[in-house]
């Protein structure tokens, strides 16, 4: 039995948390699809703000971060390497693809937009994605390709650039 008002409040919160959990559980059981969707939506809404906050916090707490990382590294080097890989991938996605990689791959069913083999990377159509500090990361400017089609495309772009800079007079002569 609660004896003080503080205790009573604590008790009240606990009871209601349980009620809320129970209500949530029932909702999830009745509408599993809708529940998954709403979690996904709220996560996406908050993801950007959360990531920004985390980056800021890490910048402000370098020593803490280093200590924590060292602990993880010592405890499980393989897990540490995997985490670094994931982090690097997420950074690459954020900087080079505006965080759209997963969505773009999904839109194309994970397949190369050119040959429909499994896609390996995302190409910037304006060709500047990997060369400028602020690439055009609009979804319309990005397309998933396999390595083979990507190499072929860039070879064709190079040939075109060469021929238009070196041979444009002769090209126009012959036309």
> How far apart are the C-alpha atoms of 54 and 68, rounded to whole Å?
14
CB of 91 to Zn ion, least distance (A): 19
Task: Between 104 and 146, name the residue whose CB sits nearer to Zn ion.
Answer: 146
> How far apart are the C-alpha atoms of 81 and 78, rounded to whole Å?
5
Q: Which stretch binds Zn ion (CB under 5 A): 53-61, 93-101, 112-120, 165-173?
A: 112-120
Q: Which stretch binds Zn ion (CB under 5 A): 33-41, 48-56, 76-84, 142-150?
A: 142-150
Residue 116 zone, left/alpha/beta (φ > 0; ψ -120 to 50; rest): left
Q: Which stretch binds Zn ion (CB under 5 A): 10-18, 58-66, 82-90, 105-113?
A: 105-113
112 near Zn ion, rule: CB under 5 A: yes
Residues in the site for Zn ion, rule: CB under 5 A? 112, 114-115, 123, 146, 149
């Amino acid at each position: 039995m609660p004896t003080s008002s503080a205790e009573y409040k604590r008790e009240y919160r606990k009871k209601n948390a349980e009620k809320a959990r129970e209500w949530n559980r029932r909702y999830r059981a009745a509408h599993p699809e809708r529940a998954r969707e709403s979690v996904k939506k709220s996560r996406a809404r908050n993801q950007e703000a959360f990531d920004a906050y985390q980056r800021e916090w890490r910048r402000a707490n370098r020593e803490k971060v280093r200590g924590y990382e060292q602990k993880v590294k010592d405890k499980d080097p393989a897990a540490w390497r995997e985490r670094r890989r994931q982090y690097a991938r997420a950074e690459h996605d954020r900087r080079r693809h505006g965080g759209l990689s997963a969505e773009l791959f999904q839109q194309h069913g994970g397949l190369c937009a050119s040959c429909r083999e499994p896609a390996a990377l995302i190409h910037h159509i304006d060709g500047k994605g990997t060369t400028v500090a602020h690439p055009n990361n609009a979804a319309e400017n990005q397309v998933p390709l396999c390595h083979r089609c990507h190499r072929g495309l860039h070879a064709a772009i190079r040939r075109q650039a060469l021929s238009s800079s070196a041979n444009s007079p002769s090209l126009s002569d012959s036309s």
